[in-house]
Amino acid sequence: MNKISKTFIIGLLPMALLACGNSNKKANSEAADSNALGAEKEIQVEIPAFDADSAYHYIDKQVSFGPRVPNTKAHQACADYLTSQLEAFGAVVFRQDFDAIAYDGTILKSSNIIGAYNPESKRRIALFAHWDTRPWADNDPNPKNHHNPVLGANDGGSGVGVLLEVARQINIKQPALGIDIILFDAEDYGSPTFYKGVQREDHWCLGSQYWSRVPHVPNYTARFGILLDMVGGKDATFYQEGYSLYFAKKLTKKVWNKAHQLGYNKYFIDQEGGTIVDDHLFVNKITNIKTIDIIPYFPNNEQSSFGDVWHTVNDDMEHISKETLKAVGQTVLAVIYEEK
Ligand SMILES: [Zn+2]
């Protein structure tokens, strides 16, 4: 497997768009997203300190339910937990229950869970993560584990854990814009590697596809969106993902610059990674909300370009790093509190 195609694997599909997609469309996307973000200025605002212990605790709590695979009791219990936690943090909570149809026709009882702050404001930022976990550890080095579920401390749990801590901070002190914390379901039910049928990118990200077509409030829009996926791995390196650069280059640069300003250069790498089929792709394609993905890329990892434990039975709390959670969480807080 070569370097480029490795880049494309995610709980998501091999894609072959990187080389052709970017060059001639860059100018358009750049021009388009410069308006949405407004002028770049240094604004003095007090930014809350992100508490990584707290985010870690919210991940641990999700993991304590077991794998959060749709149509299981653990999944239902976790949905209730996330709903009540967002309510406890003062959000107006929307629970969007829907039937998703999986690649093999299975009906997945799914729920997108949305916590809205300052819902009357027209100026909004959307923060996304997926909260479901993968039913199959189909990238485990031991093939015997391929039919066992992933615990999903990092893949699922980490993005949600960071956003719950962001919610807790917003409840203490509101930023200038309205914030929506949007937790997608059924991201990781894409056809397993052992599936013999056709693999399609829209087998993945069923919750974000649904929400993008049927948002939780009619005509919903936001100034921009940030998706967090697998943001808790040890020594994670976040390269600038290809679709993020394609759809929202200015926002990508702004977030990476902010991370560097805060001293997180070790995590936020000022280089382009590959394109990844993830929830942000469907948000970008279906809605007008320019959305980036903060997702790790390990260019030299033989096991997976998403890291050693990706889609294995070892995606557990032992492999979660508070330092990585802090780097991502503090960067997101700075971006949303500095937005006017
Ligand atoms: Zn996954």
Helix or strand run (H / E) with residue 128: strand 124-130
- What average pLDDT does the segment 211-240 reach? 98
Q: What is the CATH classification number for the domain harbouring 319?
A: 3.40.630.10
Q: How far is the CA of 75 from the centre of ligand 1 (A)?
A: 16
Q: Greater confidence, 296 or 38?
A: 296
Name, in order, each residue with C-beta under 8 angstroms of 14's C-beta and a sequence gap of 6 or more: 5, 8, 199
Query: Distance between CA 290 and CA 283 in Å, rounded?
Result: 8
Q: Do 32 and 60 sit in the same domain of this protein? A: no
What pLDDT does 172 receive?
98
Res. 23 pLDDT band, cuts 50 70 90: very low
Residues 317, 323, 52: CA angle, nearest 5 degrees:
75
Is the domain of 73 the same as that of 188?
A: yes
106 and 78 belong to one structural domain: yes
Identify the pLDDT of residue 44.
73
pLDDT (0 to 100) of residue 66: 98
| pLDDT of 31 strictly over 80 | no
Check whether residue 170 and residue 249 sit in a common domain. yes
Rounded Cα distance, 134 and 125, in Å: 28
Q: Are 137 and 256 within one domain?
A: yes
Hey, is 166 helix, strand or coil?
helix
Residue pLDDT, tens place only, 147-164: 999 999 999 999 999 999
**pTM, rounded to two decimals:** 0.89
- Ligand 1: distance of its center to the CA of 57 in Å? 21
Measure 320 CA to ligand 1 centroid, in angstroms: 15
Which amino acid type is present at position 318? E
Distance of CA 248 from the midpoint of ligand 1 (Å): 23
- 72 and 160 both lie in a single domain: yes
Average pLDDT, the chain: 90
pLDDT, one tens digit per residue, over 45-60 is 899 999 999 999 999 9
Cα Rg of the chain (Å, integer): 18
- The pLDDT of residue 256 is 98
Q: What is the pLDDT of residues 266-320, one digit of tens each?
A: 999 999 999 999 999 999 999 999 999 999 999 999 899 999 999 999 999 999 9
Cβ within 8 Å of residue 105, ≥6 positions away: none
CB count in 10 Å sphere of residue 313: 18
Please tell me the predicted confidence (pLDDT) of residue 248: 98
**pLDDT per position as a tens digit, 103-129:** 999 999 999 999 999 999 999 999 999
Parallel, antiparallel or unpaired: strands 178-184 and 107-117 = antiparallel
Tell me the CA–centroid distance for residue 156 and ligand 1, in Å.
Answer: 7
Calpha distance 259→291 (Å, rounded) = 17
Q: 167 with 48: CB under 8 angstroms?
A: no
Residue 29: predicted pLDDT: 44
Same domain, 220 and 91: yes
Ligand 1 centre and the CA of 231: distance in Å? 12
Pairing, β 178-184 against β 268-272: unpaired
State in Å: Cα 190 to ligand 1 middle.
9
Do 146 and 260 sit in the same domain of this protein?
Answer: yes
Q: Quick count: other Cβ atoms within 10 Å of Cβ 217? A: 11
The CA 312 to ligand 1 mean position distance, Å, reads 10
- Do 137 and 90 lie in one domain? The reply is yes
pLDDT reported for residue 45? 85
- Domain co-membership, 327 together with 224: yes
**How far apart are the C-alpha atoms of 164 and 209, rounded to whole Å?**
22
Identify the residue with better confidence: 1 or 194.
Answer: 194
**Mean of the pLDDT values across residues 250-279?**
98
Q: Tell me: the pLDDT tens digits for 3-19?
A: 333 334 444 443 433 33
* Owning domain of residue 12: 1-43
Whether 127 and 226 map to the same domain: the answer is yes
| Spatial separation of the C-alpha atoms in residues 43 and 308, rounded to whole Å | 39
Q: Give the alpha-carbon dihedral of 44, 331, 116, 160, to 10 degrees.
A: -160
pLDDT range class, residue 25, cuts 50, 70, 90: very low
Higher-scoring residue by pLDDT: 35, 244: 244
The answer on pLDDT for 26 being more than 80 is no
Distance between Cα 249 and ligand 1 center (Å): 24
- The count of structural domains within the chain is 2
Do residues 66 and 98 both lie within one domain? yes
Ligand 1 centroid–CA 118 distance in Å is: 31
